[in-house]
Amino acid sequence: MGGMKRIHAAGHRHRPNPRPADARSIDAKYGLEPVFEPGSDTDATLGDVQLRLVQCPYCGEGFDTLVDLSSGAARYIEDCQVCCQPIQFDLEVDHDGRLVALTASRGD
């Protein structure tokens, strides 16, 4: 079979796959949030955004949530990823932009 080209069933030539893009370029291209791999540190950091493990005040289950420190102290509501109840988060940030405390309480 020397000199023959490989043809797919649809009649197209086989082209090698382009080099895979890295995760950050894919995230940027599609506007995705960064992915934190399981088994890494409980509290991962990416710039002003941190992944924090919190416990739901309703169902007691723990889950990871992204915390954005770039705007300083904040109070916001986020639904539990397990039971969907509204959780009030109080975010305290020091003058250097470091996380001081993150508390989760019932939002009702």
Instruction: Please report whether residue 30 resides in a domain.
Output: no
Looking at the structure of the chain, the number of domains it has is 1
Q: What is the pLDDT of residues 30-81, one digit of tens each?
A: 877 666 555 555 444 456 888 899 999 999 999 999 888 888 899 999 999 9
Could you tell me the pTM of the whole model?
Answer: 0.56
Instruction: Please report whether residue 69 resides in a domain.
Output: yes
Residue 64 lies in domain: 42-106
3-state secondary structure the chain: CCCCCCECCCCCECCCCCCCCCHHHHHHHHCCCCCCCCCCCCCEEECCEEEEEEECCCCCCEEEEEEECCCCCEEEEEECCCCCCEEEEEEEECCCCCEEEEEEEECC
Instruction: Please report whether residue 89 resides in a domain.
Output: yes
Percent of the chain with pLDDT over 70: 66
Instruction: Please report whether residue 18 resides in a domain.
Output: no
